[in-house]
């Protein structure tokens, strides 16, 4: 395992990237990394994440209580939000919160990122719903986040910003980049008269690529999620009217596919390249 000091340095590096890419202003944003079930590293409150050194980084337990913090530093005021993600998603190793301009604009306008407009966003993100507004630093944000946690790896926080999580720090950060890039594309294509959305057949072909790649995390391609008509371009909210989750494997509907239904044989680069080629061919690209 990478030693703790190295992880602190990585948190500082990612903090710089978030700051330099205008994903936060001033002292905003926060980052955490899980060391084990009872120890987590997190950024401190009240400092710019673009100017941190490893001695800034605090250590907390699973309840957000301080285990270690250097003089003058206290854990992020949003640590409860991070801890709720770890509690409900044991597969998660890192959580990133930022206020990227485009994604946050959608969060403020109350528009979820659910339109299937480009292959990478459909494959990597699936869709990004909006967790209802909560007062920062209270339990309101964690509570409102909860229902999205089993089904997504990124959410917008209503009138606030974005939250992403993944297996490790780099992956969680890259997910934030993807969310912002997708939001920017969506915004700009709306300016050009509105994006041309993929139809369901196209979306399902992209989901098939994701399944073949065996990517970690939760995604509509791996799991039926839309029982209560939450935002999702998997089924445009119509899933609840269709088949229940857990249909036998091999059925044609993506809704029946479970996490276990990943064909490990098909994960070689050659096979993925071939699938990608065929899908692009069918898309007429
Ligand atoms: Zn925030």
Chain segment 161-210, per-residue pLDDT in tens: 999 999 999 999 999 999 999 999 999 999 999 999 999 999 999 999 99
CA distances (Å), 198 to each of 91, 122, 204, 221, in order?
Answer: 30, 10, 10, 15
pLDDT bin (cut points 50, 70, 90) of residue 279 is low
CA distance 35 to 245: 33
- Ligand 1 centre to CA of 150 (Å) is 22
SS3 45: coil
Q: Output DSSP code: residue 193.
A: T
Q: Are 259 and 209 in contact (CB under 8 A)?
A: no
CA distance 175 to 96: 9
- Ligand 1 centre to CA of 118 (Å) is 27
Which carries the bigger pLDDT value, residue 214 or residue 110? 110
pLDDT bin (cut points 50, 70, 90) of residue 280 is low
- Ligand 1 centre to CA of 98 (Å) is 6
Which carries the bigger pLDDT value, residue 141 or residue 232? 141
- Ligand 1 centre to CA of 99 (Å) is 6
- Ligand 1 centre to CA of 87 (Å) is 20
- Ligand 1 centre to CA of 195 (Å) is 29
The mean pLDDT of 57-61, rounded to a whole number, is 98
What backbone torsions phi and psi does residue 271 show, to the nearest 5 degrees? Answer: -65, -45
Of the listed ranges 150-159, 171-180, 205-214, 275-284, the least confidently predicted one is 275-284
CA distance 104 to 108: 6
């Amino acid at each position: 395992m990478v030693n703790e000091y190295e992880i602190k340095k990585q948190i500082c590096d990612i903090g710089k990237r978030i700051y330099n890419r205008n994903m936060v202003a001033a002292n905003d944003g926060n980052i955490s990394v899980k060391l084990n079930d009872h120890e987590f590293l997190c950024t401190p409150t009240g400092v710019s994440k673009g100017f941190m050194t490893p001695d800034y980084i605090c250590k907390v337990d699973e309840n957000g209580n301080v285990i270690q913090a250097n003089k003058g530093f206290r854990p992020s005021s949003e640590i409860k939000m991070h801890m709720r993600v770890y509690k409900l998603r044991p597969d998660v190793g890192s959580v990133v919160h930022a206020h990227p301009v485009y994604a946050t604009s959608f969060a403020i306008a109350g528009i979820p990122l659910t339109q299937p407009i480009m292959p990478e966003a459909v494959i990597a993100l699936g869709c990004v719903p909006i967790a209802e507004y909560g007062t920062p630093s209270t339990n309101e944000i964690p509570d409102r986040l909860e229902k999205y946690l089993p089904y997504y790896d990124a959410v917008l926080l209503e009138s606030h910003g974005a939250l992403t999580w993944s297996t490790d720090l780099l992956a969680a950060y890259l997910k934030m980049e993807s969310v912002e890039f997708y939001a920017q594309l969506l915004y700009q294509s709306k300016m050009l008269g509105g994006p041309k959305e993929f139809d369901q057949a196209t979306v399902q072909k992209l989901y098939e690529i994701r399944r073949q790649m065996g990517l970690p995390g939760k995604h509509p391609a791996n799991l039926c999620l839309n029982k209560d008509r939450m935002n999702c371009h998997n089924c445009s909210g119509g899933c609840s009217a269709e088949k229940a989750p857990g249909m036998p494997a091999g059925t044609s509907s993506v809704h029946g596919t479970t996490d276990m239904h990943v064909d490990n044989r098909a994960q070689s680069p050659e096979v993925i390249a071939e699938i990608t080629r065929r899908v692009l061919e069918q898309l007429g690209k």
